[in-house]
Amino acid sequence: MREYDYIIIGSGIAGLYDALLAQELGSVLIITKGSIHECNTRHAQGGIAAAIGSLDSPELHFEDTIAAGAGLCDPEAVRILTREAADRIADLVKFGVPFDTVDGEIALAREAAHSVPRILHAGGDATGERIEVTLSNAARSSSRITILEYCLAIEILVLEDGVYGVAALDLHSGSIERFGCRFVILATGGVGRLFKITTNPEIATGDGIALAYKAGAEIVDMEFVQFHPTALRLPGVPLFLISEAVRGEGGILRNAEGERFMLNYSPDGDLAPRDIVARSIVAEMERTETDRVYLDVTHLPASIVSARFPQIYRFCFDHGLDITSSMIPVVPAAHYVMGGVRTNYWGETNIAGLFASGEVSCTGVHGANRLASNSLLEVLVFSKRIVDRSREEVNAATTAEREASALPERAVDSGNCPSLDLIALESLLWENVGIVRSADRLREAANILAVWEEELRRPTDRPSYELANMVLVGRLLAEAALAREESRGAHFRSDSPEPSDAWLRHIVFRKKD
């Protein structure tokens, strides 16, 4: 096997930032199943939250994050996140990320559930793209970082004392190659493609979570999937995220009859947390018997709208919609998973040498509902801590969760089960494990997913590996949502609509030995 010190799976901001830090300590291999530019980071419009303003503080940022997490944030993880934020922003500035400025200082905007303006942007609503391009250019120019594009990681190689490498499928030749290493860092992003309506690109198929589970890592909080309230809905046009910052700038949600409705659902109105806004939109669409609502910015100066949201303005305009004079048709869409591979405060899993960074991980900072724009910050803070930990040569596993359980056994009855394909899977998850859930629909989804998992053929190419990963991750999601018999944060059960103190705990899955 070709040997490296670090193997990083994924080429978004998490993978690139880890690679640029780790290259100072050893050789680095980045494995990515598409091109280096195919990642969720490029689609991040909202920006990065950090308490760097004169009216802000890490303590205030901590309080906002805890409040959004609905009782399930890890307070120490949140303290780390908010305390180390300013230093990580300084790192990006050193790498050359061009943050927007006003009078020579970094400009700060406000988003829902933040008590003060603390959101940094680059290129208006092009923040993720600007960061990704800056970091990928730096990684490409490094002689200590090897990048393998169109190479799909299919197995984390593990012995009793920890990881020793990764098996990967060359998507051009079809050959399988094994690479040895001291450390594996999962940075594969989220699971949005499990759902029929999603803001995520095609690469977000939950690969890292599936790899980690099959290797014996703990998976936690999978029931908490955040649905972004506002994705563009135009006939024949790909779904496109309309940033929460649009509402932060003064955008107003209106129903099909032109009525402002959010104050009927929350005293925070249009700046209510995402889960409340998403469910309110669903309720309003059902009440008015329509398939969309509208986001209105026509009352704002046209020059501010086009300058503040250049990507959104240009995308809509290119598809025949001038948002400065016409309302934006929107629907909720699957956006971000708060759960994932369970890590400690240093990004370590319960498998020695295996780390996880970014959306694939669950550090404890998001709890049951992520505070807007904390995700890019989480990447920076905990990626840095991962590399710092590896510097110490600790290479030890975290303590395994005693209450972790394997996925439940389910009687496989394929009699009335639909045939498995990508469309069927996305529809099942959207309809049964989506914004509003119930025990009956969740149980039906879990049973169907168990049948599909049993009937899966051995994967041979990228589509079949991705489908197998999506079925497994779908099971983890459905089973966790079925087990949590309450509503909390982004997880809403119509048959248990209130939170319960009995559920102030985490659901953890781990494969049987």
Report the first-to-last Cα separation within the chain, whole angstroms. Answer: 26
Where b means 16+ CB within 10 Å and e means fewer, 434-456 reads bbbbbeebbebbbbbbbbbbeee
Per the DSSP assignment, residues forming a β-bridge with 355 are 185, 348
| Strand 28-31 versus strand 48-49 pairing type | unpaired
Phi-psi region of 26 (alpha: psi -120 to 50; beta: other; left: phi over 0): left
- What would the two tokens of residue 325 be? 């004079």
Cα–Cα distances in angstroms (integers) from residue 62 to residues 52, 78, 99, 344, 501, in the given order? 13, 6, 23, 18, 22
CA distance 123 to 245: 13
Strands (E), 140-269: 145-148, 151-159, 162-170, 176-186, 219-220, 225-232, 240-241, 252-254
Length of the chain: 513
Q: Residue 307: count other Cβ atoms within 10 Å of its Cβ.
A: 11
Cα–Cα distances in angstroms (integers) from residue 205 to residues 44, 152, 199, 360, 371, in the given order? 17, 12, 13, 11, 23
Note whether 194 and 334 are within 8 A (CB): yes
CA distance 439 to 468: 24
Where b means 16+ CB within 10 Å and e means fewer, 261-280 reads bbeebeeebbbbbbbbbbbb
Catalytic residue status for 42: no
CA distance 176 to 189: 23
Note whether 424 and 133 are within 8 A (CB): no
Residue 296, CB-side half-sphere exposure with 13 Å CA sphere = 15
Question: Distance between alpha carbon 158 and the CA centroid of its chain, in Å?
Answer: 26
Among candidate residues 79, 182, 233, 274, the one labeled active-site is 274
CA distance 401 to 148: 34
Strands (E), 27-161: 28-31, 48-49, 101-102, 105-106, 119-120, 145-148, 151-159
Note whether 33 and 150 are within 8 A (CB): yes
- Give DSSP secondary structure letters for 453-465: HHHPPPP-SHHHH
Show which residues are catalytic: 274
